[in-house]
Amino acid sequence: AQSVAQPEDQVNVAEGNPLTVKCTYSVSGNPYLFWYVQYPNRGLQFLLKYITGDNLVKGSYGFEAEFNKSQTSFHLKKPSALVSDSALYFCAVRDIRGGGNKLTFGTGTQLKVEL
């Protein structure tokens, strides 16, 4: 079975500071990993994904994520946070071998960026 853990319910960051939103995963095979963002009363928007190749993945709005196989982690990062980045962030995993096309999501991390 595949699973995702987001250990922080909320992350608070000052605007201009770097941000990190943590994610760890568990799959039986090789993972496809994703980050999505949800703004209030909206659906989920795709941010970035890791399939294979370079462990550092760049995505939309200046976000990036680092895949670490030994630590089974896929943390979301941004060098300089903006107030407009405040939203709910979800990490998701797809088990290439055993999970078909289904995505399994974490419980989400609320990011709050303050002036």
Partner 1 sequence: DAEITQSPRHKITETGRQVTLACHQTWNHNNMFWYRQDLGHGLRLIHYSYGVQDTNKGEVSDGYSVSRSNTEDLPLTLESAASSQTSVYFCASSERGGTEAFFGQGTRLTVV
Amino acid letter at 12?
Answer: N
Cβ proximity to partner 1, 32 vs 67, nearer residue: 32
- Under the binding rule (CB under 8 A), the answer on residue 112 touching partner 1 is no
Q: Which is nearer to partner 1, 3 or 17 (CB)?
A: 3
Q: How far is CA 6 from CA 25, 52, 115, in A?
A: 9, 22, 25
Please check whether residue 58 is in contact with residue 77, taking contact to mean a CB–CB distance below 8 angstroms: no
Residues 78-107, interacting with partner 1 (CB under 8 A)? 90, 94, 100-107
Task: For residue 73, give both structure tokens.
Answer: 């982690």
Q: Least separation, in Å, of the C-beta of 28 and partner 1?
A: 16
8 Å CB contact between 77 and 85? no
* Rounded least distance, CB 37 to partner 1, Å: 11
Nearer to partner 1, 39 or 62 (CB): 39
> Under a CB-based contact definition with an 8 Å cutoff, are residues 93 and 4 in contact?
yes
Instruction: Enumerate binding residues for partner 1 (CB under 8 A).
Output: 6, 32, 34, 36, 41-46, 49, 51, 90, 94, 100-108
